[in-house]
Amino acid sequence: MSYKASAELSNSPPLGSTERAPLFFPPIFKETEMGPVERTAQYLIDNEIRLATAESCTAGLIVSELGGIPGCGSCVICGLSCYSPQAKQYYLGVKRETIEACGLTSEKTSLEMALGALKNEMVDLAIANTGVAGPDDQDGIPAGTLCFAWVFRLADRKDKRITETVHFSGDRNEVRLKAAHYALERIPDLHRSLVDQRHVD
């Protein structure tokens, strides 16, 4: 796997409200029992990060993987699965010009998808991906190529944007699952680096 990166509850408030309910998610696993997804879920809760996703070829797997963890509802706001160019434009506000100039499999497109998901005021982190899961190459892009975007809204309300292009091996569903796990497992390191940078600045 290779990649390149570029950085630029039960007591929940009523639907439509921007009021933030307190998070409560006691550890459900011993540290030694946690896998990567469980550790990410615990990190989201510990740091009061609310997540929204805008998924193309993973088609909801990011949210689904978190959904397998009891109590994850306190850190997941919503998940959108937008496959077609039209859905990306209509639901996420991706510009047609971006798709025409950069293609569906591009960091620019994934970034605009994430920014569209971040419009919800309750969201602190939006993750997006788009790419070619396979089994065949598409428009000269090798199967297994995915473009990711993470956009964090930190305490100062400034958006911090990270994009990456990653190539995964395996068949179509192996690529999709690896991509979903990768999107989640990157969260703690990316968030820590942004918080550390903000403290230095």
For the cut 70, the answer to whether the pLDDT of residue 9 exceeds it is no
Q: Which residues contact 99 (CB under 8 A, 6 or more apart)?
A: 85, 88, 89, 109
- In three-state secondary structure terms, 6 is strand
Q: What are 71-114's pLDDT values in tens digits? A: 889 899 999 999 999 999 999 999 999 999 999 999 999 999 99
Structural contact between residues 54 and 82, judged by C-beta atoms closer than 8 angstroms = yes
Structural contact between residues 55 and 80, judged by C-beta atoms closer than 8 angstroms = yes
- How far is the CA of 43 from the CAs of 59, 70, 127, 149, in angstroms? 23, 14, 15, 19
For the cut 50, the answer to whether the pLDDT of residue 181 exceeds it is yes
pTM: 0.84
Average confidence score pLDDT of the chain: 87
